[in-house]
Amino acid sequence: MAFLQERFLLLCLAIFSSLLLSVSSRGAVYRPPTVERLTDRFPRIPFTKGMSTLFGASNIHMKSNGSYADIILDKTSGSGLISKNRYYHGFFSAAIKLPAGFTSGVVLAFYMSNADAFPHNHDEIDFELLGYAKRRQWVLQTNMYGNGSVHTGREEKVYLWFDPTQDFHQYTILWNNHHIVFLVDNIPIREVLHNQAVSSVYPSKPMSLYTTIWDASEWATSGGKYPVNYKYAPFVASLRELKVQGRCLIQKTSSPTGAGCLKNATVSSQDPVNGQEYAKLSKQQMDGLNWVRRKHMYYSYCKDTARYKVMPAECNAY
């Protein structure tokens, strides 16, 4: 009997050691690749200069003269910021640290939209970070709408390769006439090429930049199975390193042009990242994009045959 117990303990130890080695080697495989730091090319601007309160003013806390901002969700309200300008194209980035703990049903969004001006055929480019239940991790969803409604989105979901609650990480949207690129810590996680297949739904109208935190209990976690539990509130998302650069829609009022907006723009003007330097991904960036899609992506609308009997035209490129 003692011999069998000893053998059993040795077997358990071997399995445990194997698991440790597997985790160790997986960590090496999943180390992110080196890429160009696009965010280093653009200046930071204070949130107080680039953005205004959208809703939940009492749950927005500015710090260090507007260099930092906390946006908060609690029982009374969520909160959000909106850019002071509308942009035709450009470079939009912020470093974000997400709330820790049980965050099921909580959504932090960093996105561009013109739904207020075009409610029936709006454009939108989204980062949505979806909170999690116990033993789960935050999910990053990207989405795009062009001349459409909420029923015509193009969602993709990835698992992050880091804990977004422990430190600040950069979330970036590059949008120009050539492509839309979503980047996390400067690593491209998704590229939408502006080609003939997608041209009818490619965002083309000027958009505002938003960042919001809100209660999405109805859909965010397992289809609404796990709603927000306010026992764990307040849910605080911290923001810094706001970077906004693009051509803007000039308002008819006499109010001054806000930070991140190039002056003397007209309706046909494009942003400074619309040149050949930003027209295509470099080899390093393509390697990073392929790494994310191989190792971390777990949902793409282009693979959802249950949802689409006939795939959207742009999916033929995948």
The residues annotated with a catalytic role in the active site are 124, 128
* Cβ pair 105, 130 in contact under 8 A: no
Residues across the chain: 318
* Cβ pair 209, 88 in contact under 8 A: no
What token pair was written down for 31? 């180390």
* Cβ pair 207, 83 in contact under 8 A: no
Beta-bridged to residue 61, according to DSSP, are 70
Across 249-292, the runs of DSSP E, i.e. the strands, are: 261-262
What token pair was written down for 296? 């971390």
What token pair was written down for 165? 């609650």
* Cβ pair 245, 272 in contact under 8 A: yes
What is the number of other CB atoms lying within 10 angstroms of the CB of residue 61? 13
Beta-bridged to residue 243, according to DSSP, are 93
* Cβ pair 61, 235 in contact under 8 A: no
* Cβ pair 132, 279 in contact under 8 A: no
Q: DSSP character for 89? A: E
Which residues lie closer than 8 Å to 110 by C-beta, 6 or more apart? 94, 96, 127, 129, 171, 173, 210, 211
How far from chain centre, in Å, is Cα 318?
Answer: 21
What is the Cα–Cα distance from 46 to 49, expressed in whole angstroms? Answer: 5
Beta-bridged to residue 53, according to DSSP, are 81
